Amino acid sequence: MDHVDASQRLRFEQVEYRRWLDLLWRPVVIAAAIVTVLLLVVVATSHPAWSLLGIGRGFVPEELYPVSGFVIVLALTFAHAVGWAIGSGVVFYIMTLFGSGANWATGRIAMGVVYLALGPLPLLLFHVLFGGALLGMPRAGLGEWLAAEHPGARWLLITAHPIVDFSLIPLGLIFLGLLWKYGERIERERRFQTALALSLLGTSLAVALSIAIHSTLVHARIGL
């Protein structure tokens, strides 16, 4: 009997996954295109910052550092989103093993838990654990040095830095709010599916940009 129940649950999950793939591929493509264009604009308007970061140093010509930076951050963005999708599926399956129903309510709990675990919480933990150490690094005149030597990098590394980090708060509220307040409409309406995908990929982009910004600041401070 247990084997029959497990087989039925597996078939149900396979059908659900296929249904959700059919529903979400268009909103995901739209959100991915918007996020890609946004990152392209960020890199194009702050290319000195990516030259400072120097992704691919020793393998990539210096003039292509902004390109390598764009590729790596975009890859991190999509990898974060894919990790969320896989993690949500794993948590959903574990929850059904412990008696939760294989339904949309369980799916929303799984997606919300994994979102928090992969989005705001790691960045908060990073700032708690390493923020003091970063602030303690040599940084006298960092803003002035950037303004003089790399003016296109200053706005991303100094001005936009807190905006990127704190953007996780409204993005998280939008994502979780859509998931819980409009969860039923997400199953039916394309605009809510697109908004959910955009808030998720926006979160992934903010996390990837934050990693790149902190890495660049470490390079810059060590070099001062």
Residues ≥6 apart with Cβ < 8 Å to 180: 108, 112
pLDDT of residue 128: 63
pLDDT tens digits for range 71-80 = 999 999 999 9
Helices marked H in 98-167:
104-118, 120-135, 142-149, 151-154, 160-166
* Mean pLDDT of all residues in 76-86: 93
pLDDT tens digits for range 109-155 = 999 999 999 887 777 776 666 555 555 544 556 667 677 677 777 88
Report domain extents, the chain. Answer: 27-223
Number of H helices and E strands in the chain, helices first, is 11, 0
Token readout for 9 is: 């649950």
Q: Is the pLDDT of residue 179 over 80?
A: yes
pLDDT tens digits for range 184-196 = 788 778 888 899 9
b/e map 121-151, b = 16+ CB within 10 Å: eebeeeeeeeeeeeeeeeeeebeeebeeebe
Q: Is the pTM of this model over 0.75?
A: yes
Q: Is the pLDDT of residue 4 over 60?
A: no
Q: Is the pLDDT of residue 10 over 90?
A: no
pLDDT tens digits for range 162-171 = 899 889 999 9
* Higher per-residue confidence, 128 vs 25: 25
What distance, in Å, lies between the first and last C-alpha atoms of the chain?
A: 68
